[in-house]
Amino acid sequence: GNSVTQMEGPVTLSEEAFLTINCTYTATGYPSLFWYVQYPGEGLQLLLKATKADDKGSNKGFEATYRKETTSFHLEKGSVQVSDSAVYFCARTNTGNQFYFGTGTSLTVIP
């Protein structure tokens, strides 16, 4: 099947804490993997992506590595800021370039 599973939230962290949001996928073939972020009141924005195994996507201090052996694409950031508070969605594409999203993980960073 085609699915994306990400850790449930909400997640609350103190500023400068380390963040990990787990994401695993099931797929036939070799999908591309994405993390999207949705800030309050806004639409989804692409945060980072990886298109093949062992690729690392990175942006704004966030990183995720495409692990084919564990079918995972965990999102990490070494030191979160209050401005990182948002909902994060893991997603994958299929052969038709359609997106399938995880359920989203709400992150709140407190000062």
Contact (Cβ atoms closer than 8 angstroms) between residue 63 and residue 82: no
Q: Of 14 and 103, which CB lies nearer to other proteins in the complex structure?
A: 103
Contact (Cβ atoms closer than 8 angstroms) between residue 33 and residue 65: no
Q: Of 19 and 93, which CB lies nearer to other proteins in the complex structure?
A: 93
Q: Of the ranges 11-19, 21-29, 61-69, 95-103, which one interacts with other proteins (CB under 8 A)?
A: 95-103
Is 70 near other proteins (CB under 8 A)? no
Is 97 near other proteins (CB under 8 A)? yes
Contact (Cβ atoms closer than 8 angstroms) between residue 84 and residue 95: no
Minimum Å gap between C-beta 82 and other proteins is 22
* Whether residue 10 has a cis bond before it, omega within 30° of 0: yes
Q: Of 71 and 94, which CB lies nearer to other proteins in the complex structure?
A: 94
The type of residue at 97 is N
Say which residue the tokens 């508070």 belong to: 85
Contact (Cβ atoms closer than 8 angstroms) between residue 58 and residue 46: no
Q: Please pick, from the candidates 14, 45, 81, 83, the single residue that binds other proteins as defined by CB under 8 A.
A: 45
**Residues engaged in binding other proteins (CB under 8 A):** 32, 36, 42-46, 49, 51, 89, 93, 96-104
